[in-house]
Amino acid sequence: MWKIIFSDIDGTLLNKDRNISTETIHAYNRIKTNTDLVLISSRMPSGMTYFQEALNNKHTPLVCYNGGLVLKNSLNAFLNPENILLDISIPFETVRFINDYLKNIEVNFSVYNYNNWYTTKQDYWTAREENNTKSKAAFVASDFFNTHKINAHKINIMGEKSHIDKIYAFLKTEIPTVDLYRAKDTYIEIANKKTSKGLAVEVLLKNFYTTIHKKETIGFGDNYNDIPLFRAVGHAVAVENARSELKAIAHATTLSNKAHGVAAFINENFQF
């Protein structure tokens, strides 16, 4: 039986209200003495820990920023070096380059560094992200990134599709060292090209869950950034609302996130 569940959050574990449902909490409570649930997301730590609290699960590792920051648990201080298993970021020179390029384009520029979120605009996009992730942004002037050497575990650029299309094409050509990911037409998510959920799983199995084999792990996901996760675990399960490319490499499919698909799979397949 599987000893670790690696689960994506948005579009996978959360319901239509962007919360963890009582169905999911009850399903995990039934198996938690035998199976750890590791949250693995593009979110920052503060956008994940309240889900751990809902699951009464703060002792397990956290995989933040799609694997850019892997923490042993959220019980210790986030920046305690002993709590950090993996730390991959975008160099501050690249952050500055992107910020300078965007100065005359009407978009939201957000930089995430450890448990800090810096943004140059207090606008619709910031308010929406704050509401969705329960995290708070620090508002800074655009020259902040020229005077502070801030590496980025993640950069978000949010705005109208026409602007995002242009920016995506430019950055794709100019910065080969980063990955660009568009979950929506109005978003670009940027990370160091070395970052992946699959690498995070490998690091955890090598340095934390040292007695657990890959075949004893299972992963749940819905989107393109879950492809490396699916390749790194022993059993991969796509929710019904997942991208077709993800379903094509999954070992199984469960109900959609809105129908509590992770809970349904646990109830049907975990017997203790």
Residue type, 199: L
CATH code for position 167: 3.30.1240.10
CB atoms within 10 A of CB 38: 22
Residue 230 pairs in a beta bridge with: none
H-assigned helices in 67-215: 92-102, 124-133, 144-147, 161-174, 197-207
> Which residue among 191, 206, 225 closes a domain?
191
Domain total of the chain: 2
54-90 pLDDT, tens digit each: 998 888 999 999 999 999 987 666 678 889 999 999 9
Question: What is the rounded average pLDDT of the residues 193-215?
Answer: 97
187 and 199 housed in the same domain: no
The mean of the pLDDT values for the chain is 94
Mean pLDDT value of segment 92-121: 95
Per-residue pLDDT reduced to its tens digit, 16-67: 999 999 999 999 999 999 999 999 999 999 999 999 999 988 889 999 999 9
* Per-residue pLDDT at 229: 98
* C-beta neighbour count of 217 within 10 angstroms: 25
Q: What is the DSSP letter of 142?
A: T
179 and 223 both lie in a single domain: no
pLDDT higher at 196 or 58: 196
Domain that holds residue 19: 4-87+195-269
Residues 219 and 256 in one domain: yes
**At 142, is the pLDDT very low, low, confident or very high (cuts 50, 70, 90)?**
confident
Cβ neighbours for 32, distance < 8 A, ≥ 6 positions apart: 55, 56, 57
Mean pLDDT, residues 117-128 taken together: 93
CB 151 within 8 A of CB 113: yes
Residue type, 247: K
220 and 181, same structural domain?
A: no
Q: 161 and 226 share a domain? A: no
* H-state helical runs in 7-160: 22-31, 49-54, 92-102, 124-133, 144-147
Do both 101 and 80 map to the same domain? Answer: no
Among 155, 174, 191, identify where a domain stops.
Answer: 191
Neighbouring CB atoms inside 10 A of 146's CB total 13
- The CATH number for 56's domain is 3.40.50.1000
Q: Are residues 204 and 115 in the same domain?
A: no
- Looking at the structure, tell me whether residues 231 and 103 fall in a common domain: no
Residues 6+ apart with CB under 8 A from 131: none
Considering the domain architecture, whether residues 112 and 152 belong to the same structural domain is answered as yes
Q: What percent of the chain has pLDDT over 70?
A: 98
